[in-house]
Structure 1
Amino acid sequence: MAHALPHEGVAYEHFRPAGPFASLPLPGNRSSLVWTERTADAPRFLAMDDATLAAEIEAVMGSTLGTVTVDDKLMGFPLRRQMARAFIAPRLALVGDAAHVVHPIAGQGLNLGLKDVAALAEVVIETVRLGLDLGSDEVLARYQNWRRLDTMGMAVMTDGLNRLFSNDVAPVRALRDFGLGLVDRAGPVKAALIRTAAGIAPSGPKLLSGLPL
């Protein structure tokens, strides 16, 4: 979508009972949109004309990006949480969406994919330096063991966050807002959560911490 005001490179995410509604910055005054709706309501939005869609978007986002123009076709996809039974097979390793699909809340699907690639690259390079077979079962198992637990944890967390933020019950909403306020004011805690989500941790791949392999 195009919009009158610049996004300044900032992504915006609104949490609604139907699920997250997020704008992700693109070059120029354009953003992509991640719009979550209930299954029963999705066909109605997919059938809307561009002007009506723009009005719906502005109703959620307010004046954040100014007047909105829909300049691409709205596409609908069912949301599922899926994980491959194994991330590896003989001389094969799965990464990103080929290995796992999580709820698109806070962009964690992309982060998981980046961590997969960085971890696999690290395992492969270390194996080559040792002069070993980089496609051996033992080497691939090291990649799978490294990534599978983290991926499962993030899948459960994103599903839980979606349920929490989609809950419109007043007491739950009040506790949620209170907790978010505490985290936002606790600088070190907030920074640690951001680093963990991005894979920047002592146990994470070196590439994501800016370290050479």
Structure 2
Amino acid sequence: MDNPERARILHRMTQVSDILIVGGGLNGPALALALAQTGHSVTVIDALAEKVRKNAAFDGRAYALALASQRLLAAIGVWERVADHAQPMLEIKVTDGHAGAGPSPFFMHFDQAEIEEGPMGYMVEDRHLRRAFLAAMQAEAAITRVDGKTVVAQETGPGSVTVTLDDGSALSGRLLVGCDGRRSGTAARAEIKRTGWDYGQTALVCAIEHDLPHHGIAHQFFMPPGPLAILPLTGNRSSIVWSERSDTAQRINALDEAEYFQVLRPRFGDFLGDICLQGDRFTYPLNLTIANSFIAERLALVGDAAHGMHPIAGQGLNAGLRDVGALAEVLTLAGRRGEDIGSVLVLERYQEWRRFDTAALAMATDVFNKLFSNDNPILRLGRDIGMGIVGSLPGLRRGFVREAAGLTGDLPKLLQGRPI
């Protein structure tokens, strides 16, 4: 056999792991670590090169991690790598009103003191989380990383699933997990349909530096075009997630920095003093998209690949990490019983655990957005009275705080801070 032909054959030889994960963002690495630490061999296929993820500069993007999500990160050995960069969220203030006119006198105020467990959550920048996941995966011998490669085909056999990469190489495992976002190629190749709709809104995202301290307080200001979230980062900095009608958002984002702030300032107010931009500005179209099934033959979907929702409650990543905890627990317990972890019977347990919860959360964010993103005087009166009632009743406030902290429902063990 000549050397070129031998090289081609070796190039196409299949590498084998228990589980193949498509997507190297946040949910994919979290699942890989959770599974590797319970005895599974895992391959993570990331379309981005490692140096791109590792060398990401500050760009303003950050995540609101619920307390339960922080517990999962601690359980899989990631939290210790980002704790110094995390800003606790000690209070949440929710108001309603118009840009430049100030908030309504009715509001909701949630304080971490209303629960015993600690801060409701933490703000962590995207760059710190990604580097922490990379370092944690590099320290785990059971994880193989394939960087800068894209899956172009997948095929399921009686006891395995095989994916073909864009360089012609093949990888196989007992289970394929799609963590590849709202436009999941993994789901599309499995012919899993999606249900959803566009909100006609776009999120403007950036980070700002301000003169006055934020004291760990997160603000959500509801205006007719969409909500403005001001989320505390370490130091005198905050992350901004600002929803506008899509045509308006594109016009705003095209403005230069001075003009951009002329539009932002009336919405933001002056309670944090002078503000200036840090990092880049981004826009994200907002929609609702839920996979009609979270599973297929030897396949499971996690995070945005299974469900993408409005960021109004900041629950996107938190919902994905609940998927991670649930799937890792289902697969680990099945493996310990000697079951085939890729079988439909095992995967149905994951779907039953997560599908209703995510559908309910998606519908709640959808209704909440429609209720607040309008200027109907009757709806305004109703929601303002509702906020006033919730704000005045300690029992209801405590329930909302526990929900924001991710402490309600049937929690996987990792989100309770317990090993599987």
The reply to whether TM is greater than 0.5 is: yes
Task: Between the two structures, name the one with larger relative contact order (CA 8 Å, sep ≥ 6).
Answer: 2
1:32 aligns with 2:246: no
Q: Which residue of 2 aligns with 1:144?
A: 351
Quote how far apart the aligned CAs of 1:14 are.
Answer: 0.8
* Structure number with bigger Rg: 2
Residues 1:201 and 2:420 aligned together: no
Q: Could you list the per-position Cα deviations for residues 173-199 of structure 1 after superposition, in whole angstroms to 9, with x for gaps in the alignment?
A: 121111111112222222223334544
**Match for residue 303 of structure 2 among 77, 81, 96:** 96
| Superposition pairs of residues 57-206 of structure 1, within 5 angstroms | 57-206=264-413
Q: Deviations over 1:145-167 (max 9, x none)?
A: 11111111111110110111112
d(CA) in 2 for partners of 1:201 and 1:76?
31
What aligned pairs does 1:11-50 form with structure 2 within 5 A after superposition? 11-50=218-257
Contact 1:87/1:95, CA 8 A, preserved across alignment:
yes
On the 8 A contact 1:124/1:134 being kept in 2, the answer is yes
Q: Deviations 1:62-104 (Å, cap 9, x if unpaired)?
A: 1232211112222222111001122123333211111111011
Q: Contact 1:57–1:68 (CA<8 Å) still a contact in 2?
A: no
Backbone CA RMSD of aligned residues: 1.8
> Letter of the aligned partner of 2:257 in structure 1?
D
2-structure distance, mates of 1:93, 1:7: 41
Structure with a larger share of its residues in strand: 2
Q: Deviations over 1:118-162 (max 9, x none)?
A: 211221222233232222211111101111111111111101101
Give the Cα–Cα distance (whole angstroms) in 2 for the partners of residues 208 and 56 of structure 1. Answer: 40
Secondary structure in 1 aligned to 2:398? Answer: helix
Deviating beyond 6 angstroms after TM superposition, the runs of 4 or more aligned structure 1 residues are none
Q: Which runs of 5+ in 1 are unaligned?
A: none
Q: Give the Cα–Cα distance (whole angstroms) in 2 for the partners of residues 109 and 202 of structure 1.
A: 17
Q: C-alpha separation between the residues in 1 aligned to 2:345 and 2:307?
A: 22
- Give secondary structure in 1 for the equivalent of 2:285: coil
SS at match of 1:13: strand
For the residue of structure 2 that corresponds to 1:15, the secondary structure is strand
Moved more, 28-37 or 54-63: 54-63
Name the TM-score, length of structure 1 as normaliser: 0.91
Amino acid at match of 1:13: Q
Aligned position for 1:56: 263
Distance of 2:232 and 2:387 partners within structure 1: 24
Percent identity between the aligned chains?
Answer: 49
Cα distance change, pair 114–198 in 1 and its aligned pair in 2 (3 A): farther
- 1:36-71 per-position Cα deviation (integer Å, ceiling 9, x unaligned): 111221221011111222232221121232211112
Count residues with an aligned counterpart: 213
Pick closer, same or farther for the CA change 1:183–1:212 going to 2, 3 Å: farther
